[in-house]
Structure 1
Amino acid sequence: MKISIATEDVLTEEVITKILSFKGRFEIVHKLGRKGCGFLTNKLSNFNELAKTHNVLVFFDLDLKPNPNAYKSSLEGKVANKNGSLHILISVREVESWVLADRIGLSAYFNISRDKIERDPDVLPDPKEKIINLAKASKNPLIKKGIPPKAGAAAKVGISYNSLLTNFIWDGWDFTRALEHSQSLRDVSSLIDAL
């Protein structure tokens, strides 16, 4: 099945690509976005137009908004004559919670105790900050130096944040294990299965 995806950032794109490859019946035609939430919101009408030809999945982070269903409805309300093939999907609170949901894989990759990783990462107010703090405790020098931002830096993440986590997504992250610990990921998986 042909499908296009639009994401807020590189890491989300990699996670969604991995999920779709795991499911095995999708051909990704376009990978769009990677320029933040505002860009995706402004382009919803364009994505709706593209959805006339095939399914388009647009992924937003819930961040600190209180309710994923209300947020999804507000986004859908911005699209005139929304096509049934345009699907807005929400990760709770960020895609990093889905990364954290594979506790076995991430603890091995970061070389830290699994006990340091929450069993329900969807409840974390800032999953990205949790990953950065776990990286600081890592025994792997590449992770310890590459994922957290340098002291005093304006950047919120380290220079190798995306590349190191992308390596983990493709080489260590197990989608089926992650499903066990993230309701948000289970919800998105079910919606993809229904396409």
Structure 2
Amino acid sequence: MRSIEAWLFADRVGLANWLGVKISNMPTLPESILDPKQNLAQIAAKSRQRELKSRLMARPEDGAIVGPEYGAAIFEFIDRHWDVESAIKGALSPSLLKAATRISELRDRL
């Protein structure tokens, strides 16, 4: 897995709603994306939410891949909106399913 964004993409409906974009903009094979962080920022460019868009998108003059508040915005999504159960059940991210299974096994042993 390349980044946490691949796991976030696994909650297609939740992420699309948070970004304010159509679900058809969400990838169906998130772990096959070469640069999930840049892909998420590109999808954010289609957002109808100006404030969120400015937080996630890079400014051309900065030479960055993502916006200045990208990390904070992503943590906000994870904390308040990400439906990890839906992401796991959707089976779009095998590594997320594997991690959740291992955590469950560890919890059961303790």
Q: Same fold (TM over 0.5)?
A: yes
Q: Deviations over 1:17-50 (max 9, x none)?
A: xxxxxxxxxxxxxxxxxxxxxxxxxxxxxxxxxx
Task: Work out whether 1:185 is the aligned partner of 2:96.
Answer: yes
Higher strand share: 1
The alignment's TM-score, normalised by the length of structure 1, stands at: 0.51
Query: How many angstroms apart in 2 are the aligned matches of 1:119 and 1:170?
Result: 23
For 2:94, the aligned partner's letter is Q
Task: Decide which of 33, 44, 49 is 1:140's aligned counterpart.
Answer: 49
Specify every segment of 5 or more residues in structure 1 that has no aligned partner in the other structure, as ranges.
Answer: 1-91
Counterpart code for 2:72? S
Residue 152 of structure 1 aligns to a residue in which SS? helix
Post-superposition shift, 1:127? 0.7
Partner of 1:172: 81
Give a deviation string over 1:152-193, Cα, whole Å, max 9, x none: 213332111011111111111100111122111001111111
Question: Equivalences for 1:1-195 in 2 at 5 Å?
Answer: 92-179=1-88, 180=90, 181-195=92-106
Distance in 1 between residues matched to 2:63 and 2:29, nearest whole Å: 30
Write out the 4+ residue segments of structure 1 that deviate beyond 4 Å after TM superposition: none
The CA deviation at 1:128 is 0.6
Identity of aligned residues (%): 28
Distance 1:159 1:109 in 2: 18
Q: Which moved more, 1:103-112 or 1:155-164?
A: 155-164
Aligned-partner Cα distance in 2 for 1:156–1:100 = 18
Give the TM-score normalised by the residue count of structure 2.
0.88
Determine the C-alpha separation between the residues in 2 that align with 1:141 and 1:166.
Answer: 18
Q: Let me know the Cα RMSD of the aligned residues.
A: 1.1
Q: Number of residue pairs matched?
A: 104
